[in-house]
Amino acid sequence: MSEVKPKTGKLTMAATHLGDPQDMPLRSLEALRSADLLVFEEDRPARSFLKAAGVHRDYLKYSEHGQSDTLEQVTRVLKSGGWVTYMSDQGTPGLADPGRELVARAYELQARVEVIPGPSSMAVIIAAAPFPCHSFTFLGFPPREPPLRLKALRAAAQLDHPVILMDTPYRLAPLLEACKEAFGGARRAVLALEISCPGESFWYGQLDALTKRAGSLKEKVNFVLMVCGKS
């Protein structure tokens, strides 16, 4: 007797690495090999993840542009009882990436939601911080417009606990300058650069010093910033 599939399927939010392929969870590799439908944020990382899993498969994209055709296909597969796996460009999905919209659709369909945990840039910088992180605020990507960004940072500067921020590599210098203005140059912070990559480094010090040091970087680098709380 053939197995009867449930009315709705399963959506797996699979973690990947932050820079070192050896950090990718084994369960994520198996999900890439076995799921009925694979969804990735971007093409280049997708190809590298499939290579790590040792498979060559078709896949769909769901980026910040929110491809409606991908969402429709995910809906069809879940409704038929199939297995969909989503993987963002780096780390555990759901943190500043579009995967959350797929999770919302899975709940709407009463499909099973599964998370394969793994590397997270937010967890990494908490581990590298020398100040208390019993509570913190994740601001994610601050507004791009300088006035709005400064307004958001000034509000964050009044918090008594650390604040975590991230942005694209080419906005590191403007973000540090804005943080120095909003928090004050004497406020201490941790800057994580190229997490899990060969050039990984953690800088700790006052924002004034970190801003000057970052000015010597010759290349654009991935980063996460944690600023100490007001107290």
Q: How does pLDDT run across 174-191, given as a tens digit for each residue?
A: 999 999 999 999 999 999
Section 77-106 average pLDDT: 92
Domains in the chain, number: 2
The answer to whether position 138 is within a domain reads: yes
The answer to whether position 155 is within a domain reads: yes
- Asked whether residue 48 falls in the same domain as residue 111, the answer is yes
Q: What's the rounded Cα separation, in Å, for the pair 131 and 169?
A: 25
For residues 133, 152, 88, 60, the Cα torsion angle rounded to the nearest 10 degrees is 160
For residues 133, 139, 141, 143, the Cα torsion angle rounded to the nearest 10 degrees is -140
17 to each of 8, 21, 121, 126, 183, how far by Cα in Å?
29, 6, 10, 17, 32
- Asked whether residue 55 falls in the same domain as residue 68, the answer is yes
pTM, whole model, 2 decimals? Answer: 0.86
Q: How confident is the model at residue 97 (pLDDT cuts 50, 70, 90)?
A: confident
Asked if pLDDT for residue 4 goes beyond 80, the answer is no
DSSP state of 142: -
Where is 207: in which H helix or E strand?
helix 207-214
Question: What CATH number is associated with residue 162?
Answer: 3.30.950.10
- Asked whether residue 59 falls in the same domain as residue 135, the answer is no
What value does the mean pLDDT of the chain take? Answer: 93
Most confident of 56-70, 131-145, 149-163: 149-163
Question: What CATH number is associated with residue 73?
Answer: 3.40.1010.10
Q: Which residues span the domain enclosing 205?
A: 121-227
- Asked whether residue 125 falls in the same domain as residue 222, the answer is yes
- Asked whether residue 182 falls in the same domain as residue 102, the answer is no
The answer to whether position 1 is within a domain reads: no
167 to each of 85, 144, 175, 193, 197, how far by Cα in Å?
26, 9, 8, 12, 17
Place of tokens 């399927």: 9
Q: Judge contact between 15 and 2, C-beta under 8 A.
A: no
More confidently predicted of 218 and 225: 225
The answer to whether position 195 is within a domain reads: yes
Asked if pLDDT for residue 47 goes beyond 60, the answer is yes
Closest CA to 164 of 123, 196, 201, 212: 123
Section 195-199 average pLDDT: 93
Where is 99: in which H helix or E strand?
helix 99-108
Closest CA to 10 of 151, 115, 145, 101: 115
63-87 pLDDT tens trace: 877 688 999 999 999 999 999 999 9
Number of C-beta neighbours around residue 142 at 10 A: 23
- Asked whether residue 70 falls in the same domain as residue 105, the answer is yes
Section 180-208 average pLDDT: 97
The answer to whether position 5 is within a domain reads: no
CB neighbour class for 151 (10 Å; exposed up to 12, middle 13-18, buried from 19): middle
For residue 190, give the amino acid letter.
Answer: V
Would you state the pLDDT for residue 5?
A: 53
The answer to whether position 4 is within a domain reads: no
Section 132-140 average pLDDT: 92
